[in-house]
Amino acid sequence: NSIWVSTDHDEIEKIAKQFGAQVHRRSPEVSQDSSTSLEAIREFLNHHHEVDIVGNIQATSPCLHPSDLIKVADMIQKEGFDSVFSVVRRHQFRWSEVKKGENKMTEPQNLNPAKRYRRQDWPGELYENGSFYFAKRHLIEKGYLQGGKMAYYEMRAEHSVDIDIDIDWPIAEQRVLRFGYFGKEPLKEVKLLVCSVDGCLTNGRIYVTEDQKEMISYDYRDIVGIDLLKKRGIQVRLISERDCSKTLSAMQMGCIAKASATNKLQVLEDWQKDMGLSWKEVAYLGNEESDVECLTKAGMSGVPADACAAAQKAAGYICKSSGGCGAVREFVEHIFLLLEKVNSARKQ
């Protein structure tokens, strides 16, 4: 019914309101380093008697998807649970800790070493992952976030990231880049991929022969990736700032191409309008500052691993491969992952 951000920070309050949230200003008493989430929630409830159920979403779990929260809210409101919390399945063998100086052996906690099985054949165990805790008011007022008629909600592993220490931050970033975060907007199929030639399809190097002819190289894996897109009915178009018409013609890729494109965004907008596509249906792979506007506009954007810093900052996905070394194929695989999500959402 309402979305709140609890904070004692002016800048966080400003940003929260910009994105449509309401703000509860925490008191100094519950804003200490040692303050708990429960203390902040109980203070919030003291000011908002109209709230019967609280869904506490942890800011340190950025990969949480709205669809999970909708399902959990239904568990509380329609299935009668008093509290629901998030868990993730892990396949890790546990052993008892032996403290330094103790003269004893470690013991297995959840396995029999004499009948050790493969972890992929084991159903695993459920662990709290801290993404969210939903509870009814009467529990929270008693000092509980979990209690009464309890249930867990198992999250997918790729959505389960808890930022606890510094090393968790880049892991969270890569999860978001790999699996995407689509928020409340409906998913759309990609129908057009526009790829910058120099530095994406090629490695950006130009070889000049003695008779002043240009030569470039490209990775056959990228050509296979483009062919796979075409077989799925997705158009692929190429764009370059250079006058490389002869080179593109010699590559015989069967793609519409625009060379000498001094304004890449204008070319992209013309193609998008001519095809009657929304920006959500356009994917763009670029690598230079001249690609930044296109990367920002496109619904799905990517750059090779060796793209310039400005392009990397604007892109939604950073390939592990460099330009001319499989980056196009890798981005194609990323597009296929999106299509799987679209099909899954439609089935649901």
Instruction: Looking at the structure, tell me whether residues 202 and 296 fall in a common domain.
Output: yes
What integer is the mean pLDDT of 303-309? 93
Instruction: Looking at the structure, tell me whether residues 155 and 196 fall in a common domain.
Output: no
Beta carbons of 88 and 158 less than 8 angstroms apart: no
Instruction: Looking at the structure, tell me whether residues 161 and 199 fall in a common domain.
Output: no
Higher pLDDT, 252 or 152: 152
Q: What is the mean pLDDT of the chain?
A: 88
Which residues are CB-contacts of 88 (< 8 A; sequence separation ≥ 6)?
Answer: 126, 127, 129, 154, 155, 157, 160
Confidence (pLDDT) at 167: 87
Higher pLDDT, 340 or 274: 274
Q: How far apart are CA 143 and CA 267, in angstroms?
A: 60
Q: Which residues are catalytic?
A: 116
Confidence (pLDDT) at 184: 44
Residue 337 in domain: yes
Beta carbons of 324 and 201 less than 8 angstroms apart: yes
Instruction: Looking at the structure, tell me whether residues 242 and 278 fall in a common domain.
Output: yes
Q: Which amino acid is at 110?
A: N
Q: What is the pLDDT of residues 289-302, one digit of tens each?
A: 999 999 999 988 99
Higher pLDDT, 1 or 338: 1
Residue 339 in domain: yes
Confidence (pLDDT) at 173: 77
Residue by residue, what is the 3-state secondary structure of 70-90?
HHHHHHHHCCCCCEEEEEEEE
Structure tokens at 160: 């389960």
Residue 115 in domain: no
Please name every residue paired with 134 in a beta bridge, in sequence order, or none if there are none.
Answer: 55, 84
What range does the domain containing 254 cover? 192-346
Residue 240 in domain: yes
Instruction: Looking at the structure, tell me whether residues 247 and 335 fall in a common domain.
Output: yes
Q: What is the pLDDT of residues 183-229, one digit of tens each?
A: 545 556 889 999 999 899 988 777 787 777 777 777 889 999 999 99
Measure Cα distances from 130 to 85, 87, 120 in Å: 8, 8, 24
Q: How far apart are CA 98 and CA 109, in angstroms?
A: 13
Instruction: Looking at the structure, tell me whether residues 228 and 315 fall in a common domain.
Output: yes
Q: What is the pLDDT of residues 23-73, one digit of tens each?
A: 999 999 999 989 999 999 999 999 999 999 999 998 888 888 888 999 999
HSE, CB side, 13 Å, CA atoms: give it for residue 143.
Answer: 0
What integer is the mean pLDDT of 86-115? 91
Confidence (pLDDT) at 118: 81
> Which element (helix H / strand E) includes 284?
strand 282-285
Residue 9 in domain: no
In this structure, of 88-102, 264-278, 329-343, the range with the lowest mean pLDDT score is 329-343
Confidence (pLDDT) at 297: 92
Overall pTM surpassing 0.75 (yes/no): no
Q: What percent of the chain has pLDDT over 90?
A: 56
Q: What percent of the chain has pLDDT over 70?
A: 93
What integer is the mean pLDDT of 276-305? 93
The CATH number of residue 252's host domain is 3.40.50.1000
Structure tokens at 110: 């959840």
pLDDT at 338 over 90: no
Instruction: Looking at the structure, tell me whether residues 155 and 208 fall in a common domain.
Output: no
> Which element (helix H / strand E) includes 150?
strand 150-155
Structure tokens at 197: 């030639």
Q: What is the pLDDT of residues 210-221, one digit of tens each?
A: 777 777 777 889
Which residues are CB-contacts of 93 (< 8 A; sequence separation ≥ 6)?
Answer: 108, 109, 110, 111, 119
Instruction: Looking at the structure, tell me whether residues 137 and 270 fall in a common domain.
Output: no
Which residue shows structure tokens 């330009």? 323
Beta carbons of 224 and 329 less than 8 angstroms apart: yes
What integer is the mean pLDDT of 251-266? 87
Residue 176 in domain: no
Beta carbons of 38 and 145 less than 8 angstroms apart: yes
Q: Which amino acid is at 30?
A: V
Q: Where are the alpha helices (DSSP H) in 151-244?
A: 168-179, 220-231
Q: What is the DSSP letter of 2?
A: -
- In the chain, how many domains are there? 2
